Chain A
Amino acid sequence: GQSLEQPSEVTAVEGAIVQINCTYQTSGFYGLSWYQQHDGGAPTFLSYNALDGLEETGRFSSFLSRSDSYGYLLLQELQMKDSASYFCAVRARGGGNKLTFGTGTQLKVEL
């Protein structure tokens, strides 16, 4: 089976940088995805790491260490609209893009 851990809540101020960590336990690990979900909205894909290292997409970056079963999402220049839930999700071998999600981190951005 698979399990993922991430902090339940993070608070930061507008313009700051925040890091959301994710540790996972899985067999047949293929990659780690990150999704954003606003209240009442659909999860929206942010990034995916299959290999160790940092992937950068605009203000968002994601990091993976396969040996440590650990990844993080880095959000820079925080904006109020970034207030949302952020989920890490494991993609395992043999399941297409079937994803196992963590319980999510609620990010609150304050003025």
Chain B
Amino acid sequence: GAGVSQTPSNKVTEKGKYVELRCDPISGHTALYWYRQSLGQGPEFLIYFQGTGAADDSGLPNDRFFAVRPEGSVSTLKIQRTERGDSAVYLCASSLSPGKNGEAFFGQGTRLTVV
């Protein structure tokens, strides 16, 4: 596709459930990033993939959060035992090169609501 695609666009889940959020980056982009954005705040870094491997997962808040990118393209962010505090917009971004010009292309995000 032309841009970063994230599915679903909206997800409502019950506290304690497991959710998976999908990101399909721009074709050919080797770097992929997950961010989380709460209302009125800037995006908060979660994890960065270079190819298939997680180059930096320092932003994952705890071990309930996990992300994979098995073939170096599509990535899935997985959240176990969801809590109401996990409610936010989860943004995925990709870039052509990991080291160039501060530009990343963002998807529209998945709005996660935990009830």
Taking Cβ atoms with an 8 Å cutoff, the residues of A that contact B are 30-33, 41-45, 48, 50, 87, 89, 91, 95-104
Given known A-B contacts A96-B99, A97-B31, A103 and B42 have beta carbons under 8 A apart: yes
Taking Cβ atoms with an 8 Å cutoff, the residues of B that contact A are 4, 31, 33, 35, 40-45, 48, 50, 55-56, 91, 93, 95, 98-109
Q: By the criterion CB–CB under 8 Å, are A44 and B45 in contact?
A: no
Residues of A within 8 A of B104 (CB): 45, 97, 99
Q: By the criterion CB–CB under 8 Å, are B103 and A33 in contact?
A: yes
Residues of A within 8 A of B108 (CB): 41-42
Residues of B within 8 A of A95 (CB): 48, 55-56
Q: By the criterion CB–CB under 8 Å, are B95 and A96 in contact?
A: yes
For B47, the closest partner residue in chain A by CB is: A98
Contact of A101 among B4, B43, B98, B101 (CB under 8 A): B43
How many angstroms from the CA of A103 to the CA of B104 in the assembled complex? 18
Q: By the criterion CB–CB under 8 Å, are A96 and B50 in contact?
A: yes
Q: By the criterion CB–CB under 8 Å, are B41 and A104 in contact?
A: yes
Residues of A within 8 A of B95 (CB): 96-97
Q: By the criterion CB–CB under 8 Å, are B42 and A33 in contact?
A: no
Residues of A within 8 A of B55 (CB): 95-96
For A88, the closest partner residue in chain B by CB is: B42
How many angstroms from the CA of A89 to the CA of B35 in the assembled complex? 13
Contact of A45 among B35, B98, B105 (CB under 8 A): B105
How many angstroms from the CA of A32 to the CA of B39 in the assembled complex? 23
Q: By the criterion CB–CB under 8 Å, are A31 and B106 in contact?
A: no
Task: List the 10 closest A-B pairs by CB distance, nearest first.
Answer: A101-B42, A96-B98, A48-B102, A33-B102, A42-B106, A45-B103, A43-B106, A97-B95, A91-B102, A48-B101
